[in-house]
Amino acid sequence: MDIGSYLKKIRIHKEYTITEVAHRIDISASLLSQIENGKITPSLQTLEELLRFYAVNFSDFFRQVEQKKYIFIKKNDAESLTSTAHGVRLTLLASKLQNNSLESFVVDLDPGARLELARLDEDVNGERLIYGIYGIVETVLDEEVFTVNEGDSINFKSYVTCSIGNKSPYEAKLLVSGMPPLVI
Is it the case that residue 180 has pLDDT exceeding 80? Answer: no
Q: Where are the domains of the chain?
A: 3-66, 75-178
Peptide bond into 180 cis (omega under 30): no
CATH superfamily of 75-178: Jelly Rolls (2.60.120.10)
Q: Give the pLDDT score at 66.
A: 61
Share the mean pLDDT of the chain.
87
Is it the case that residue 35 has pLDDT exceeding 80? Answer: yes
Q: Cα Rg for the chain, rounded, in angstroms?
A: 24
Q: Give the pLDDT score at 27.
A: 94
Who's near 76: CB < 8 A, 6+ residues apart? none
DSSP states along 99-146: S-S-EEEEEEE-TT-EEEEPPPPTTS--EEEEEEEES-EEEEETTEEE
* pLDDT tens readout for residues 97-143: 555 677 888 999 999 999 999 888 888 888 999 999 999 999 999 99
Sheet containing strand 144-148, strands side by side: 114-117, 162-165, 137-141, 144-148
CATH 3.40.50.300, applies to 3-66: no
Yes or no: say if 35 and 42 are a contact pair by the CB < 8 Å rule. yes
**Span 52-61, average pLDDT:** 82
